[in-house]
C-alpha cells in the first residue's frame, strides 16, 4: 500500500492510505493554501452571522439540541463554545487506541479544511501541531450514539486545544494545559461556532472504518494463503479454483480469491502427487473457499466505498455554504452510512474466520484429515499438539457471531426527543475492531496448524506461495514438537497479518495478490 510521507489537507482528496500512514506516525500533515482560502471565506460568513445579524443561527447565537430556541447574547458566543466542549466531554470507559485518536485528529482537521464549517485557520493549525508534536488527547471510547456525529469523543479530543481535558505526551497522561506547554504550544480561545465545528462530525467512526478496511483487505489475502496451505496439507483438489468455473459466476471477489489460490499452488509437488487420486470432492471449507472468501471481498468493496466518501465529507451542523452565503442546519452528521458499513465490516471479517476455523478442524481431526496424525503431533497422548489451538479458534469465531449482531438496527432517542433517531455507529465501530482482532488470531491459528501439517508430507514440497508462507511462519514460530504454550506464537502471527509483514513475505515470492 503506497503511503504519502507529507500530506497537505484540502478537504477533498484524503485517502485511506493517508489515514493509515498518519495513524502509524509515518506522515507529516499540514493545511494547503487552498484550504486556508476556503476556510477564511467561510469564517467571514460566520463572523457576519455572529456579529452582524439578528437572525437565529444554530450554535452561533442559540443553544444546542433541545435548547435551540434559547438566544445567546453576542458577547457570550465564545463562552458558549467553551461550555459546549466541557458539557459534551463526558465519555466513559477505556480510551480509544492511539491509532484511532491520531486518525480522528487528522479527519477532523480535514473536515474543517473543506471550508464548510467556519473554523479559524489558527484553530485547525493548532490541532495539526498537536498531532505532529505528539500531544494525544485522552478520549474515552464509550458515550457516542453516532447521531450528531461523535459528540462526546470529539469534545474530549478538542479540550486540550483550549488547555483543558487530558492528553498523553511522551507516554505520560497529563493535563491538556501541561501537554500543550510541554510541546511548546499555547492554548486557543474559541470564537463563534468553533466548538460546534470541532465536535459535530463522524470522525471516530470514520477512523475505525479507514483503519479497519486496511486490516480487512490484508486479512482477505492472508486467508487465501492460509486456505492454500490447508488445501496442500489436506491434499485437496485444485480444480475448484479453475478460472473457467468462476467466469460462469462472474463475481469479482470470488474470481480474485480463486486466482490467488492457483498462483500460490504453482509449483506444488504435493498437488501433483495426488492428481489422479480417487477423491471426487473436497469439503466445502476447501471447495467453496473462493465463494465464501469472495463474498467477504465484495462486501468490503461497499465498506471501502462508503469510508472513502466519508473521509472528505462535510459533516458539520450548521454547514457554511459560502457561494450561497448561507448557514444551513442539516443532517450530514448522522452516522447511519458508517454504522451500516462498520457492521458489514464485522460480518465480512467474521465469516473469513468462521471458514478458517472449519479448516483447522479438518487439519487436527484424524477422521477428516486424510492421514495426518491426530492433532498434528507425533506423540499423541503425552502431547496434545494442536488440540487446544482449535478450541481457541472456535472460541474466537463464536464470540464474533455475538459481536456481529448489527448495532446499526438499534436506536434510542436523545436530547429530549430532538435527536429521535440515532445510528449507534460508535458501537458498530467498537465491535468491528474486536471482530478484526479475533479474526486475525483465528487465521493465525490456521497458518500455524497448516505449517505443521504440510511438514508431515515431506519430502513432497508445496507450491511456491505456500513455501514462502511456511518459511515466514517458521521464522516466528518453531515447529511444535513437545507441547509448549502457543499463545505468543498466535499473537505474533496475528500481528504480522495486521501490519502486512506476512503478506509482504509471500508476495515477494509470488507477486502481488489480488
Pairing of strands 28-31, 6-9: parallel
Least Cα distance to 287 among 242, 240, 250, 252 occurs for 240
The Cα-based distances of 487 to 363, 466, 494 in angstroms read 19, 23, 11
Burial class (CB in 10 A: 0-12, 13-18, 19+), 459: exposed
Count of alpha carbons within 13 Å of 382, Cβ hemisphere only?
4
Q: In 146-247, where does DSSP find H-type helix?
A: 151-158, 176-182, 194-199, 203-233, 243-247
End-to-end Cα separation, the chain, in angstroms: 13
Give 370-436 as a DSSP string.
Answer: SSPPGGG-SSBTTB-TTHHHHHHHHHHHHHHHHHTS-GGG----BGGGTB-----HHHHHHHHHHHH
Give CA separation, 493 vs 181, 290, 477, 488, 497, in Å: 40, 23, 8, 9, 6
- 9 by DSSP, 3-state: which? strand
Strand ranges, E, within 240-334: 319-321, 326-328
DSSP annotation of 194 reads: H
User: Residue 6 in contact with residue 28, Cβ under 8 Å?
Assistant: yes
| Cβ count near 484 (within 10 Å) | 11
All three cell numbers of 281: 470432492
Cβ–Cβ < 8 Å for 448, 477:
yes
Q: How far is CA 316 from the centre of its chain?
A: 23
Query: What count of other Cβ atoms lies within 10 Å of the Cβ of residue 458?
Result: 9
Q: Where does 74-188 have alpha helices with state H?
A: 77-88, 98-113, 121-133, 151-158, 176-182
**Which residue is catalytic, options 58, 96, 168, 169?**
58
Cα(69)–Cα(128) distance, integer angstroms: 34
Q: Which run of H or of E encompasses 173?
A: strand 172-175
Per the annotation, the verdict on 58 as an active-site residue is: yes
Residue among 117, 124, 136 at smallest CA distance from 22:
136
Q: Is the dihedral of CA 292, 297, 299, 303 positive or negative?
A: positive
Residues marked as catalytic = 58
Amino acid at each position: 500500500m503506497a503511503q504519502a510521507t507529507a500530506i497537505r489537507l484540502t478537504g477533498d482528496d484524503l485517502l485511506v492510505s493517508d489515514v493509515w500512514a498518519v495513524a502509524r506516525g509515518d506522515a507529516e500533515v499540514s493545511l494547503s493554501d487552498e484550504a486556508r482560502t476556503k476556510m477564511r471565506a467561510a469564517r467571514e460568513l460566520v463572523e457576519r452571522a455572529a456579529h452582524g445579524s439578528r437572525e437565529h443561527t444554530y450554535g452561533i447565537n442559540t443553544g444546542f439540541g433541545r435548547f435551540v430556541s434559547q438566544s445567546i447574547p453576542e458577547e457570550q458566543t465564545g463562552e458558549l463554545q467553551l461550555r459546549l466542549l466541557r458539557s459534551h466531554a463526558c465519555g466513559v470507559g477505556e480510551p480509544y487506541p492511539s491509532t484511532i485518536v491520531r486518525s480522528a485528529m487528522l479527519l477532523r482537521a480535514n473536515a474543517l479544511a473543506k471550508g464548510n464549517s467556519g473554523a479559524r485557520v489558527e484553530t485547525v493549525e493548532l490541532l495539526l501541531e498537536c498531532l505532529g508534536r505528539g500531544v494525544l488527547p485522552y478520549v474515552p471510547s464509550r458515550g457516542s450514539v453516532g447521531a450528531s456525529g461523535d459528540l462526546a469523543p470529539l469534545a474530549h479530543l478538542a479540550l486540550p486545544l483550549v488547555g483543558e481535558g487530558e492528553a498523553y505526551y511522551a507516554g505520560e497522561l497529563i493535563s491538556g494545559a501541561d501537554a500543550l506547554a510541554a510541546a511548546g504550544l499555547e492554548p486557543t480561545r474559541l470564537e463563534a461556532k468553533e466548538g460546534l465545528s470541532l465536535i459535530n462530525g463522524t470522525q471516530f467512526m470514520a477512523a475505525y472504518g479507514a483503519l479497519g478496511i486496511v486490516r480487512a483487505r490484508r486479512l482477505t489475502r492472508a486467508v487465501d494463503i492460509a486456505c492454500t496451505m490447508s488445501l496442500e496439507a489436506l491434499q485437496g483438489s485444485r480444480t475448484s479454483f479453475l478460472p473457467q468455473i468462476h467466469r460462469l459466476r462472474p463475481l469479482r471477489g470470488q474470481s480474485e480469491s480463486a486466482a490467488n489460490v492457483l498462483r500460490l499452488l504453482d509449483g506444488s509437488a504435493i498437488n501433483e502427487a495426488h492428481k489422479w487420486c480417487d477423491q471426487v470432492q473436497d469439503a466445502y471449507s476447501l471447495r467453496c473457499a473462493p465463494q465464501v472468501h469472495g463474498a467477504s471481498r465484495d462486501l468490503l468493496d461497499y465498506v471501502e466505498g462508503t469510508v472513502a466518501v466519508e473521509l472528505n465529507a462535510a459533516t458539520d451542523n450548521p454547514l457554511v455554504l459560502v457561494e450561497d452565503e448561507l448557514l444551513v442546519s442539516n443532517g450530514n452528521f448522522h452516522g447511519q452510512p458508517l454504522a451500516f458499513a462498520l457492521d458489514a465490516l464485522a460480518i465480512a471479517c467474521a465469516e473469513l474466520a468462521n471458514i478458517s476455523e472449519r479448516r483447522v478442524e479438518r487439519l487436527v481431526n484424524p477422521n477428516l484429515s486424510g492421514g495426518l496424525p491426530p492433532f498434528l503431533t507425533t506423540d499423541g497422548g503425552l502431547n496434545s499438539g494442536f488440540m487446544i489451538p482449535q478450541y481457541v479458534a472456535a472460541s474466537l469465531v463464536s464470540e464474533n457471531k455475538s459481536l456481529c449482531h448489527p448495532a446499526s438496527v438499534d436506536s434510542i432517542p436523545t436530547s429530549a426527543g430532538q435527536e429521535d433517531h440515532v445510528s449507534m455507529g460508535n458501537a458498530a465501530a467498537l465491535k468491528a475492531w474486536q471482530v478484526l482482532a479475533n479474526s486475525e488470531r483465528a487465521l493465525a491459528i490456521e497458518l500455524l496448524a497448516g505449517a505443521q501439517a504440510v511438514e508431515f508430507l515431506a519430502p513432497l514440497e508445496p507450491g511456491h506461495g505456500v513455501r514462502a508462507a511456511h518459511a515466514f511462519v517458521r521464522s516466528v514460530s518453531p515447529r511444535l514438537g513437545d507441547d509448549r504454550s502457543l499463545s505468543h506464537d498466535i499473537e505474533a502471527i496475528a500481528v504480522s497479518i495486521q501490519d502486512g509483514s506476512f503478506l509482504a513475505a509471500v508476495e515477494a515470492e509470488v507477486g502481488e495478490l489480488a
